[in-house]
Each structure stands twice: as structure tokens, then as C-alpha cells.
Structure 1
């Protein structure tokens, strides 16, 4: 029953927001950034998701935020904190409903089967960051069970920096970010329970979504790290991976600062 009581207002808010955001994107209005922010905050409130933030997004622009990836909820959680753009696999664009929302969020889609996709995507990332939008890259290339960080892929991190350097003479600032699911229904979530909140592997989206809506009471921590020092593609990816691993461990162990 709770799931349907959540679904109805979420659908209504979505149907109201779609034409407003479509118009904002088409006309490049300032509201193309603020509508998703308000939408994500409202949807999280309806679902029953609380977000705790440790640290803050770097004020420097252009900014590339490199994060781990745990669940479809990550998009709502990050999108509720500040205006930004995501990088996602091209399959997402074809998902019913979600594909449309991703496009209205101005998501940058990458075809992982194309050898020439990296250059095009890097150009799009550079253009968005040049326009003042932080870009979020889930550098693992997939989602995890929430207890660990998978190896980072260096191609897009390096390409984004190279693209910014070519266009503006200065590479983008890279900031690590850990996304940690730390609570459910007012209780801490341990190692055994965290995979039930994560959406990963070959899990179907609809059953997982309904389970989250039925339960509610999810607590998430976003832990921002210090911007990384400049370096080559592989060095930047390795440094970002180490930083995110450290930040995630701090969040899951309840450490402050």
C-alpha cells in the first residue's frame, strides 16, 4: 500500500515537470538547472530518503565529480544537492520513461561498444563544464553492492581533462565523491544489509524500485573529498579511486570529517 501511495504523487509531479523542463532545455532557460534540483528534492521527500552531506562540492569551475555508483537512487540523491549533468551508458536513453527523464536532465550518453565514442563524449563533457555545469562521472562503469568500490576506468577521466585543456587551456578540477547507504528505517545498515539497498548486477529495476518505495526510510551520505592534484590519465584515475575508497570507508564506519 505504501508503495502506491508514493507512486501516485511521484507520477503526478513527474508529469507536471516534464513539459516545464522540456521547454526550459529547448529555450536554454535558467530553469533547466533549477527544475531538476527541485524535482529530485521533492521525489526524495515523497520516497522517504534523507541525505547527509559531508564536505562540499568544490567551487572551482570547470568541475568533474568522480564518484562510485550504488543504485538508481544515486541520480536523485546527487541531483537534489546541486545543478549538474551525468554521464551514462547509451542503453539508458532507450529505457521507457527513465530515458526521457535522463535526456531532460541533460545526461551525456556514451556508447561503450564504440571505439570512437570517447572523443565525442569528452567534447560534450567539456562543453557542459565550460557552460558552468559540474559533470558527474560514475568511474566504475557500473554499480556495486554498496560495500566496496570497483576499479575505476581511466578513459573518460583523461579524455575530459584533455578536452578541457584543448578548449580552455586548463584542465577540469577533479573532485572525488563517495556515495554511502548508511541507514534504513532509522537503523544503521551493516555489510549484510547494504546490498539490499543497492541495485547492481542483473537485478531487475521494477522489483527493486517497488521494494524501496514500500520500505522508505533510506539514509544516504555524500562525502566530498578534496580536489585532486593534476596528473596523467591513469594517475588521475588511480588517485580518484584511492580517494573514493577512503571516503567510502569513512562513511560506512561512521567516521567524522
Structure 2
């Protein structure tokens, strides 16, 4: 019952907000950055997600935020903090409903099966970042069970950095799901919030809505020094892994 009591108002708010955001994106109005932030905050409040931020997003521009990836929840959690754009696999664009919302968020889609796509996507990322929009790259290329950070892929990190120039800033981020229902999540229970592998979206979404009361931490790391793409990706991966471990063991900060 709780899942539907949450889902119905979320759907209604989404339907009301779509035309306003569509017009904002089409006309390139300042509200194209503001509406998604407000929308994600309302959604999180309805679902029952509490976000704690450790550190802060860098004020430097252009800015590439390089993060681990745990769940579809990562999108509203990050989107509720500041105006930004995401990089997603091209398949997302074709998902019913989700694809439309991703486009209205001004998501950049990448075809991972095409070797020639990297340069095009990097150019789009640079265009957004040079226009003042931070871009979030889930550098693992997939989502995990929330207990670990998978190896970061260096191709898009390096290509985006090259397209942005030497003045670009790369900031590592760790997303940590630490509690539910006021109880700390241990290693066995944390994957319940993670959406990964071959999980179907709808059942997982309804289960999260039914349970609610999620506590998540965003740990923003120190911006990275200049370096080649492999060094930058490895540095970001190491920082994210360290921050995640600290968050999950309560030893951060």
C-alpha cells in the first residue's frame, strides 16, 4: 500500500513538471537547471530518502564529477543537490518514461558498442561543462551492489579532460547507502537498495518505495591534479573507494 501512496503523487508531479521542463530546455531558459533540482527534492521527500553531504561540489568550472554507481536512486539523490547533467548508456534513451525524463535532465547518451562514439560524447560533455553545467560520469560503466567500487574506465575520463583543456577540474565522488528505517545497513542488506546485474527496474522500484526511509551519504573528494587519462581515472577510483569504505564503516571525516 505504501508503494502506491508514494508512486501516485510522484507520477502526478512528474506529469505536471514535464511540460514546464520541456519548454525550459527547448527555449534554453534558466529554469532548465532549477526545475530538475526541485523535482528531485520533492521525489526524495515523498520516497523518504535523507541525503547527507560530506565535503562539497567544487565551485570550479568546467567540472567533471566522477562517481561510483549503485542504483537508479543515485539520479534523484545527486540531482537534488545541484544542477548537473549525467552520462548514460544509449539504451536508457529508449526506456519507456525513463528515457523522456533522462532527456529532460539533459542527459548525454553514449553508445558503448561504438568505438567512434567516445569522441562525440566527450565533445558533448565538454560543451555542457564549458557552458557551466557540471557533468556526472559513473566511471565504472555499470552499477554495483553498493559494498564496493568497481574499476573506473579511463576512456571517457581522458577524452572529456582532453576536450575541456587543462583548466578542467575532475572531482571524485562516493555514493554510500548507509541506512534504512533508522537501522544501519550492513554488507548483507545493502544490496537490497542497489540496482545492478539483471534486476528488473519495476519490482526494485516498488520495493524501495514500499520500504522507504533510506539514508544515503554523498562524499565529495578533493579535486584531482592534472595527469593522463589512466592516472586521472585511477586517482578518482582510489579516492572513491577510500571514501566509500570510510562511509560504510563510519570512519569517514
Task: Identify the residue that residue 216 of structure 1 maps to in structure 2.
Answer: 212
Conservation of the 8 A alpha-carbon contact between 2:243 and 2:252? no
Deviations 1:116-139 (A, max 9, x none): 100000000000000000000000
Q: 2:113 aligns to what? A: 113
What is the aligned-residue RMSD (CA, Å)? 0.6
2:239 paired with 1:243: yes
The answer to whether 1:66 aligns with 2:66 is: yes
Q: Distance in 2 between matches of 1:240 and 1:54?
A: 16
Check the 8 A contact 1:185/1:216 in 2, yes or no.
yes
Q: How many residues align?
A: 253
- Shift of residue 256, structure 1, vs aligned partner: 3.7
Matches within 5 A, 1:1-257: 1-165=1-165, 170-257=166-253
Q: Tell me if the contact between 1:178 and 1:224 (Cα under 8 Å) persists in the aligned partners.
A: yes
TM-score of the superposed pair, with normalisation by structure 1: 0.98
**Runs of 4+ residues deviating >3 angstroms:** none
| Structure 2: segments with no counterpart, 5+ residues | none
For 2:247 and 2:41, locate their aligned partners in 1 and report how far apart those are by CA, in whole Å.
Answer: 22
Unaligned runs of 5+ in 1: none
TM normalised by structure 2 equals: 0.99
1:42-77, CA deviations, whole angstroms, 9 ceiling, x for partnerless residues?
000000000000000001100000000000000000
